Structure 1
């Protein structure tokens, strides 16, 4: 009888190792925090401020009204939550509140365009606060009139000298000149605001991208890298990266040739994190028919990304990633667990070892616009946020790094 139990236990252990290789490392300590909210909430964003505080933004819903709110967290305590703006309409991509290098705050949100024939049309508005969020400047649209913003995608990154980079998916050429492939697709556009809050010229980063997959932009000094799901000839939807700067100089490079062919948008964007000594990207692909999450390290931007590391071959995706001080990376992603899903964290070493795999949450996830997972690191804590559709709120967990 004991031998039979032992054989069954060994079989379960073998199956677990096949699904989650290197998963036998000790789990990390997870504690959940409550956001300082007063109503139903969704559409979260996390960021680290210049002074080391965590800043969390979200949307609180009061009937048809949506309030963009934020608060900061440090030393175990929340600041009072503050309202940026109230919108009597839907908000598309998750609003962002982040800190700039001079101590001011910047915010960005997407609001629907009512007089457009396109139900997915939106406008991006930016504002800045010099008093900690108590008052904000007048909303600014930082792009030219021909722009046609697709309502699901934008990414931002603070720059030195209080600059701010903005990247968006633009449909100004969709449906035009169908005989010209490059003039009938969604494009990836960018601009940079200077310390005086003046938008610079628009940059074309890529003239044909996957419309529904979010981009992710990070900066190392004045150099930026934007990762996104490209759209190549033959409906190949692999992850691309553009290195660029505020002068408009750019260079495209692939993250990896997954060769995922799909006649449709998977709505599952990548993530990137840069540091002084390299970077790391994470993404979802189903090129071989299985949902996979992959991670690729980058020691030198000029040399590009290294061979990818498979994290999970039963994944839903929506990966987020952080580069840690020892050169490893912390990744979060949604895993397919049958009728439910699971949110997992793992630490990945550059040599491919997968350590400290930890289950954070099991249950459902909402559809757009709150289906993503977000992460930020403050000191020895990694924070991960997700939307719980049953509790109808954003949930936030802190994971202590060993």
Structure 2
């Protein structure tokens, strides 16, 4: 039994670290979807089918959806698996914004595309590549944020600086995080700017907003000695202003590989009671068997940049991972996926004091076979778990 557990743990570690990157697979219909509510309570879904990014709407909480609309009119190889998926966001006035990654011919290369609808999803304008750099290199793992004032921010993993360093025969670890901003509702984006060097190559970037609209990003970073912890930065409000990245986690996990396992981040405290951020992440530990791999939650002081003691959660023997966070006032929800005996599960725990203490975790959903990562959304005063499953499709569960 001990040998079995050790072998199984090593298998899990190998699963996350099989390569620095995996090339985007072309899938008939992708399980990795994104969802968002509009101001009237309609549920919108972005998914990939046969090379097309498709958008559809549900007025009955995901039981049925409208006929999908193709956003791109020429098929593409679109990232739609795990950490790489199309993103959807809806502005207060009802504009629908989408980003996605097109995989190019060179391995691990891609372009970030953007599209929008300004007529509440009836039609979508012609999509375009939002970054100025058109080299056939890594521009991948896009993340999309729309602040309350309508500003659109897109971040992604970018390897232009790695390529330049290699050409100059200079050392360079990992990739970089770049971002671009639109202040005109997506008509155009500013020239992209670098947020930080030495990011991990293939983990999702978590984005959230402070009450004043400032966008904060959290990503897995390559620190000295190939320690793969997390970094945070608030995106500067003005162009050409340098960001000030801060180290956010200190697991000191040393690994020469990519976990494909990004963090979750939400703002803590509302209006003038804002105090910082809620964070949840995966750490692989530093043992060959993978038995020290752990999921963690912590609060980050957004002024002093000091985090609270990290709290462990999840059953690592059941591949606990890919957390989702949502905070409303003093209430915080933390969800994650586990697997057991061929089934997928979603576990949830809640805090009613801004993450200082937590209730007992409970399994709130299960589905046979494979399933996507959980997502948490708010509609009016109600919180929902959104979960796309292979056996039952998209599930919307009020929690």
1:297 to 299, 321, 342: 299
Q: Does 1:207 align with 2:197?
A: yes
Matching residue of 2:328: 324
Give the unaligned 5+ runs of structure 2. 1-27
Structure 2: distance between partners of 1:362 and 1:394 = 10
2:36 to 47, 66, 79: 47
1:241 to 228, 232, 243: 232
TM-score (norm 2): 0.77
CA drift of 1:299 comes to: 5.4
* 1:149 and 1:169 in contact (8 A); partners too: no
1:2-59 CA deviation, whole Å, 9 max, x = no partner?
xxxxxxxxxxxxxxxxxxxxxxxxxxxxxxxxxxxxx955221123434554432222
Structure 2: distance between partners of 1:242 and 1:147 = 26
Matching residue of 1:25: none
> What does 1:107-118 correspond to in 2, within 5 Å?
107-114=98-105, 118=106
Return closer, same or farther for 1:90/1:254 CA change in 2, 3 Å cut-off. Answer: same
* 1:253 and 1:304 in contact (8 A); partners too: no
2:115 to 120, 127, 133: 127
Matching residue of 2:394: 395
Give the unaligned 5+ runs of structure 1. 1-38
Return closer, same or farther for 1:202/1:317 CA change in 2, 3 Å cut-off. Answer: same
Q: Does 1:60 align with 2:55?
A: no
SS in 2 for 1:281: strand
Return closer, same or farther for 1:363/1:283 CA change in 2, 3 Å cut-off. Answer: farther
1:89 to 52, 76, 88: 76
Structure 1: distance between partners of 2:339 and 2:123 = 43
SS in 1 for 2:357: coil
Structure 1: distance between partners of 2:234 and 2:132 = 23
Matching residue of 1:3: none
Matching residue of 2:261: 268
* 2:52 and 2:75 in contact (8 A); partners too: yes
1:259 to 238, 252, 262: 252
Larger radius of gyration: 1
Higher relative contact order structure (alpha carbons within 8 Å, sequence separation ≥ 6): 1
Structure 2: distance between partners of 1:377 and 1:147 = 39
Structure with higher strand content: 1
Return closer, same or farther for 1:188/1:175 CA change in 2, 3 Å cut-off. Answer: same
CA drift of 1:298 comes to: 3.6
Return closer, same or farther for 1:177/1:41 CA change in 2, 3 Å cut-off. Answer: closer
RMSD, matched Cα: 2.8
CA drift of 1:102 comes to: 3.2
1:287-318 CA deviation, whole Å, 9 max, x = no partner?
25433111112454554432221112514311
Matching residue of 2:149: 161
Structure 2: distance between partners of 1:81 and 1:346 = 35
